[in-house]
């Protein structure tokens, strides 16, 4: 996951390959709650690992459930069997509506009948997400619910005295036109009170997001609760209902998350398909109906058991007018697909967007406009006309995971003929951790784009100038890959010493470089699948690396490996001739000019800190000699590229040097 300030996505041209989805958030948190309420142990396969499930798991632990996450991919939950193990707890539930609403209902019922007090709170945005309709349904039952902040919103406290009885003899009313989670919360919780008779829940008004209620009913059935549904207005929980663990439950891949890759395929899968694994024709998730909308826009989609196969069909995509009531989360992806359509698209039935992680109607309208689209926003609709001219935009994500993920698809703008193609900046990319922590890594693994579109920063300078440290720090700040060219030469030198290859035989060394599997990922290196460690820093390896680096045949042999390091979303390359030979088109080339005196002082402090005796004068003399040698080399001499930016870091800390490089980078990459 990219835990950085912003993530820049270069213009993307194509997409192909397979992706295995993380588990469904809607299924995961429902299953966890049901497992926590049931007796015995439930083994959950494929549980989503995200912020929202993390707060639910922590809540279950706080309530006395045993939760064990094993190395075998199973999460084992030993439930309460409908009986409270603790009678007081404070639960922090982040921004997880799928935890806040059902836990409020379940704990309100348990506290009212078994006694106790439980506080439920979350992040600031949770204090703006309505829960009043659920509170209004619980209070007539006999549940005591205290609103600790603004009326109708979290935080809440539910409390009661042991021995209480709930008024379940008459139908329990709940509104269905704001969020279906209120109805789902009641259906998940009320079997706790069905020991003396059936319980009827009646929905006032039109029930929105019905497919999510279908998920609730299907999972209740898995745990032994056969709710009878009479249309979408009346639900009957049978008398004597008890949660019964099914033993094992498999969580499907998340259908809402599938929509991003289906959309990517519809836009850019021109040579090979995108295969989405983990959800398919047998899914219980309503958001799978997104596939019908994608087909209506022109995508070629095949639904198979447990997978979806998608290719680009009609192009440009066909504009669409659609009531999205049944697919509220996946409909956000349609809004971005509309950027690639042949006219104006209208998405209606999305009033529930306004009470999600953010006001999604307002947010989507603002960000699509930032990209260049013309957008009309209403109380329950968006009307979207594609951009005439695409703009490089810094996308505000509003701490909303789905906004970040679906708007990343704007990076495929070359497919829409954007001239010039533009990058997309995602602010606060970490917000995807709510449901899909590895989303961007997965997208980059599938996406294709010409190498020249992938940004590169090069860092060079004399020995001990801190170029490796600076390059690694800049790469971390931007979420880019790193290439330490010096480490590649050391790895090849080590391989030569092991194989008995002479370090002055260029042809033999080049053949060795082509024969071994030499791989670098950040600061880690592997030879033939075995990771290298401290041996790379051996003195004999360093001396050998210095010799072989001067051989043209070796530099040529490693050139292709260095070029291959240019991968999405970008690269920071450290080393000699990175900016002049390997990546001459790098947008920013930094050349460090720290003085030999300053470098000697730094090296002296490093050695002393490790308990190694050192002499500053000797260190300085050695560095000056090395500088003279490096600048006079016939192959890859130490000289700055003609367009390099000089950085005298003699008196700068690493953080100050990084700040300067990032400032230069920002000047070269303006965003709206």
Buried b (16+ CB within 10 A) or exposed e, 115-154: bbbbbbbbbeebeebbbbbbbebbeebbbbbeeeeeeebb
Query: Residue 317 has what DSSP assignment?
Result: B
Closest CA to 428 of 92, 107, 7, 24: 7
Confirm if 260 and 333 have CB atoms less than 8 A apart: yes
Confirm if 91 and 155 have CB atoms less than 8 A apart: no
Q: Is 329 a catalytic residue?
A: yes
Helix ranges (H only) for 280-426 are 290-296, 331-337, 360-371, 401-407
Distance set, CA 133 to CA 105, 130, 138, 361, 552 (Å) = 11, 8, 9, 22, 74
- CA distance linking residue 117 with residue 239, whole number of Å: 27
Closest CA to 183 of 114, 262, 269, 101: 101
3-state class (DSSP) for residue 229: strand
Distinct helix (H) and strand (E) counts, the chain: 20, 33
Phi, psi (degrees; rounded to nearest 5) at 252:
-65, 160
Distance set, CA 19 to CA 242, 430, 443, 597 (Å) = 38, 20, 9, 53
- CA distance linking residue 53 with residue 60, whole number of Å: 11
Residues listed for the chain: 672
Distance set, CA 401 to CA 357, 430, 519 (Å) = 8, 8, 33
Pairing between strand 393-395 and 424-427? Answer: parallel
Say if residue 621 is preceded by a cis peptide, omega within 30 of 0.
no
Query: Diameter of the chain by CA atoms?
Result: 94
Region class of 187: left (phi > 0), else alpha (psi between -120 and 50), else beta: alpha
- CA distance linking residue 481 with residue 177, whole number of Å: 47
Other C-beta atoms lying within 10 Å of the C-beta of residue 477: 17
Distance of alpha carbon 598 from the chain centroid: 42
Helix ranges (H only) for 479-613 are 485-499, 506-515, 539-548, 552-564, 596-609
Residues 6+ apart with CB under 8 A from 351: 177, 208, 379, 380
- First-to-last C-alpha distance (Å) of the chain: 25
E strands, 413-535, where? Answer: 424-427, 447-448, 456-460, 481-484, 518-521, 524-527, 530-531
Of the candidates 133, 329, 428, 574, the residue annotated as catalytic is: 329
Confirm if 119 and 108 have CB atoms less than 8 A apart: no
Catalytic positions, please? 329
């Amino acid at each position: 996951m990219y835990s950085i300030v912003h993530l820049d996505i270069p213009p993307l041209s194509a997409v192909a390959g397979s992706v295995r989805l993380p588990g469904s958030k809607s299924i995961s948190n429902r299953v966890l709650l049901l497992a926590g309420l049931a007796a015995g142990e439930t083994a959950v396969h494929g549980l989503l690992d995200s912020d929202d499930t993390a707060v639910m798991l922590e809540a279950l632990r706080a309530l006395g459930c045993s939760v064990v996450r094993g190395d075998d991919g199973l999460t084992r939950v030993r439930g309460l069997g409908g009986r409270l193990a603790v009678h007081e707890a404070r639960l922090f539930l982040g921004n997880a509506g799928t935890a806040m609403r059902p836990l409020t209902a379940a704990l309100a019922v348990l506290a009212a009948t078994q006694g106790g007090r439980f506080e439920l709170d979350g992040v600031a945005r949770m204090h703006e997400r309505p829960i009043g309709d659920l509170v209004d349904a619980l209070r007539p039952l006999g549940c005591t619910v205290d609103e600790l902040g603004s009326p109708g919103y979290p935080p809440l406290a539910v409390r009661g005295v042991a021995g209480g009885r709930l008024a379940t003899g008459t139908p329990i009313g709940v509104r269905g036109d704001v969020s279906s989670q209120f109805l789902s919360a009641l259906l998940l919780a009320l079997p706790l009170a069905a020991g003396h008779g059936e319980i009827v829940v009646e929905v006032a008004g039109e029930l929105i997001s019905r497919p999510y209620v279908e998920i609730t009913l299907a999972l209740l059935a898995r745990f032994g609760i056969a709710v009878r549904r009479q249309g979408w207005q009346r639900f009957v929980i049978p008398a004597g209902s008890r949660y019964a663990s099914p033993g094992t439950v498999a969580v499907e891949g998340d259908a809402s998350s599938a929509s991003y890759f289906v959309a990517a395929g519809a836009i850019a899968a021109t040579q090979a398909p995108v295969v989405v694994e983990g959800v398919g024709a047998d899914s219980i998730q309503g958001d799978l109906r997104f596939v019908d909308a994608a087909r209506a826009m022109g995508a070629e989609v095949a639904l198979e058991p447990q997978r979806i196969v998608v290719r680009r069909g009609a192009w440009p995509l066909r504009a669409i007018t659609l009531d999205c009531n049944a697919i509220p989360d996946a409909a956000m992806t349609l809004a971005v697909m509309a950027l690639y359509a042949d006219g104006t698209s209208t998405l209606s039935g999305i009033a529930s967007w306004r009470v999600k992680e953010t006001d999604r109607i307002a947010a989507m309208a603002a960000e699509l406009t930032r990209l260049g689209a013309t957008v009309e926003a209403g109380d329950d609709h968006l009307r979207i006309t594609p951009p005439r001219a695409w703009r490089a935009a810094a996308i505000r994500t509003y701490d909303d995971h789905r906004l970040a993920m679906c708007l990343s698809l704007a990076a495929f703008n070359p497919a829409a003929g954007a001239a010039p193609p533009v990058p997309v900046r995602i602010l606060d990319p970490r917000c995807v951790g709510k449901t899909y922590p590895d989303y961007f890594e997965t997208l980059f693994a599938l996406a294709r784009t010409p190498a020249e579109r992938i940004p590169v920063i090069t860092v060079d300078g004399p020995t001990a100038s801190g170029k490796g440290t600076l390059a690694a720090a800049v790469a971390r700040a931007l979420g880019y890959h790193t290439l330490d060219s010096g480490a590649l030469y050391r790895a090849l030198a080590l391989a030569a010493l092991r194989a008995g290859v002479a370090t002055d035989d260029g042809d033999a060394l080049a053949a060795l470089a082509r024969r071994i599997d030499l791989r670098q990922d950040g600061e880690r290196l592997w030879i033939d699948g075995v990771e290298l460690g401290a041996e790379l820093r051996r003195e004999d390896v360093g001396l050998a690396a210095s010799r072989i680096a001067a051989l043209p045949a070796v530099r040529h042999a490693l050139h292709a490996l260095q070029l291959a390091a240019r991968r999405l979303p970008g690269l920071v390359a450290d080393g000699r001739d990175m900016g002049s030979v390997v990546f001459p088109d790098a947008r920013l080339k930094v050349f460090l000019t720290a003085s030999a005196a300053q470098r000697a002082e730094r090296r002296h402090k490093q050695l002393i800190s490790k308990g190694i005796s050192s002499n500053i004068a000797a260190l300085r003399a050695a560095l000056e000699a090395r500088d003279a040698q490096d600048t006079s080399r016939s192959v890859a001499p130490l000289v700055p590229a003609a367009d390099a930016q000089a950085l005298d870091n003699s008196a700068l800390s690493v953080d100050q040097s990084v700040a300067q490089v990032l400032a230069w980078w920002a000047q070269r990459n303006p965003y709206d």
